[in-house]
Structure 1
Amino acid sequence: MSLRWSHVGLNCRDLGATEAFYERWFGFSRARTVELDDDRIVFLRQGDVYLELFHSDTEPLVKPAGDGPAQPGVARHLAFQTDDLDAFLTKVGDEVPVTLGPLHFDDFIPGWQSVWLTDPDGVIVEVSEGYRDASID
């Protein structure tokens, strides 16, 4: 038996706005839509990574801040890698709220830096440049 990563499910107030956010800034595209009686589920794909979007009218449990919520049972943030964080930040400009950073972690890994942003529903999204596993150093 083998297991592999499948997807992250996100609750969204506006499926279209959340889909557009991940398409525009992170290169996702629609892989499938599952129509339900009075709703739908949207699957987005970028390479081997999937996001599953569910509509929700519920208010967020936590206010987005820093690098994400610290409550157990709540995902802290989603994370993406880039080879040019400055170019990414120039691209998003003031269109995506920054909750933290950019921060530099050169004391741990030379060249490692990250910034944390929010998606339309307040999910914290980290974008990093320069992280490497210990075995690569």
Structure 2
Amino acid sequence: MRWAHVGLNCRDQRATEEFYTRWFGFHRARAVPVGDGEILFLRNGDAHLELFPAPGESAAPSALADGPAQPGAVRHIAFQTDSVDELLAAMGEIAHVTLGPLDFDEVLDGWRTVWLRDPDGVVVEVSQGYRDQEAVETAERKINV
């Protein structure tokens, strides 16, 4: 089993495509005609986003903090960068920060995170310095990473 993609409903597919290609390194991998519109597939390495046309108002709550907490709602999508501060400086006014940047040095030295809104209100987490633990204990078995 492999991860495939995240599907996003977009008021303006072009604005959403621009956001993820410009700031998160995606490129258009495919456009599939559907009715009067199209579905856009974006790729960054093994990560894919599927952009669906969805005119009208955003169903996403006004993005606050690190995303919606309701069951069944995606809280946020997340990316890694070398420098949260450099990304925010480059984005300037385009960066609609909902929380942070916050430092998590008490958990992991150098871990820093900010949460942003994409053009449709989806919360996007951007972190630097996160690393997995060397071994994670579960109730059933020990997992070595």
What TM-score do you get using the length of structure 2 for normalisation?
0.89
Where does residue 67 of structure 1 map in the other structure?
Answer: 66
Report the AA paired with residue 55 of structure 1.
Answer: P
Aligned ranges for residues 106-121 of structure 1 at < 5 Å? 106-121=105-120
Q: State the Cα deviation string for residues 73-108 of structure 1 (Å, max 9, x = none).
A: 110001000111221111111212100000010110
1:36 alignment partner in structure 2: 34
Which residue of the partner structure matches residue 18 of structure 2? 20
Once the two structures are superposed, residues 34-87 of structure 1 have per-residue CA deviations (whole angstroms, 9 ceiling, x without a partner) of: 001212100000111000000112422311111000011110001000111221
The whole-number CA distance in structure 1 between the counterparts of 2:68 and 2:91 is 23
Q: Which amino acid in structure 2 is aligned with residue 60 of structure 1? A: S
Query: Percent of counterpart pairs with the same letter?
Result: 59
Which is worse superposed, 50-59 or 67-76? 50-59
Q: Which residue of 2 aligns with 1:6?
A: 4
1:48 maps to which residue? 46
Q: Is the 8 A contact 2:41 2:49 kept in 1?
A: yes
- Work out the CA distance in 1 between the residues paired with 2:57 and 2:77: 19
Q: In 1, Cα distance between the equivalents of 2:29 and 2:92? A: 28
Q: Provide the C-alpha distance between the structure 2 equivalents of 1:37 and 1:93, rounded to a whole number of angstroms.
A: 37
Compare CA radii of gyration and give the structure with the larger one. 2
In structure 1, the gaps of 5 or more residues are none
5+ unaligned residues in a row in structure 2: which ranges? 136-145
- Tell me how many residue pairs correspond in the alignment: 134
